[in-house]
Amino acid sequence: MAFYVVGDVHGFLAQATTALHAAGLIDDEDHWSGGDARLWFLGDLTDRGPDGIGVIDLIRRLQQEAAAAGGEVGCVLGNHDLLLLGSRYVPDALVSEQRSIIQVWALNGGKDEDLSGLDGARAQWLASLPAVKLIDDHLLIHADTLAYLEFGETIDEINETVRSFVRQRDPNVFGYHTRLLFRRFEFLDGQEGVENARFLLTVLGGKRIVHGHSTIPETFGVAPATVDGPMVYADGLVMATDTGLALGAPCVVIELPFKEPASESEPSPVQ
């Protein structure tokens, strides 16, 4: 079956539907047309863009339509998704010593329309999302960090830990765990990054980490308008997919396994 991923959409519904149309996964009326294909989003569905609730509703509907056609649509939980849930249910939870979760949400592009539109059904759906998913040797996570291992030693343990603290809504636990997913760049720094990536894959399985969270333009010094695909790094063990929609980059649907152009070489991190 064909397998696709999409990085952080961040409320840019129009750009996401344009990319899904181009990939043949939805039709002119935005209904699933991908047959038995699998499509996974890598978190951060809301904030920054104009219609985060529209993105949530699109994915929820496509999940049902794809399942009916023998396909699959899924999503892993991002830190912005946790910020939105926390702002709805535990707004005073501390993400840092100085700031509450709703303050961090607002400072990181939170939209009042997303918060007011997060009703019980949408919140329950977000809270049910896995933090980690392994598909065809691709380890899907949101943030480029080893912090997932603080939630558990297996994918099932990690996902249960995350679902548990989201369900319980304890402000202290919610704030601390949300803070973990703000970490980044743990696969980026030379040999240490390679070793970190190899370690995570050894513990959780898979042959390549596929993540969002850290935008390609900011991480690799690429002009947003020129981003037309993912960035593979750390000796090929890691793939970054967040094109940077809020920076002006397009939304890109990435087919996996990704076939890298023969002329491209390992990118050098920006110093």
In whole angstroms, what is the distance from residue 206 CA to residue 50 CA?
Answer: 35
Report if residue 185 sits inside a domain. Answer: yes
Q: Quick check: pTM over 0.85?
A: yes
Q: What CATH number is attached to the domain comprising 76?
A: 3.60.21.10
pLDDT digits (tens, 9 = 90+) for 97-134: 899 999 999 999 999 999 999 999 999 999 999 999 99
Report if residue 29 sits inside a domain. Answer: yes
Report if residue 123 sits inside a domain. Answer: yes
Helices (H), the chain: 13-22, 52-68, 79-89, 101-107, 112-117, 120-127, 155-168, 171-180, 190-204, 216-220
- Cβ pair 162, 153 in contact under 8 A: no
The rounded mean pLDDT for the chain is: 95
pLDDT digits (tens, 9 = 90+) for 150-174: 999 999 999 999 999 999 999 999 9
- Cβ pair 132, 126 in contact under 8 A: no
Report if residue 75 sits inside a domain. Answer: yes
- The tokens for 54 are 């529209």
The strand pairing partners of 75, in sequence order, are 41
Q: What angle do CA 69, 207, 142 make, to 5 degrees?
A: 65
Longest dimension (CA), the chain: 51
Q: Tell which residue, 133, 170, 148, 160, has the closest CA to residue 256.
A: 133
How many separate domains does the chain show?
1
SS3 state of residue 214: coil
Residue 141, Cα to own-chain centre: how many angstroms?
7
- Least reliable range by pLDDT among 90-99, 101-110, 189-198, 253-262: 253-262
Report if residue 266 sits inside a domain. Answer: no
Parent domain of 133: 3-256
- The tokens for 219 are 């991480």
Report if residue 98 sits inside a domain. Answer: yes
Q: Tell which residue, 253, 269, 259, 260, has the closest CA to residue 38.
A: 253
Is pLDDT of 244 > 50?
A: yes
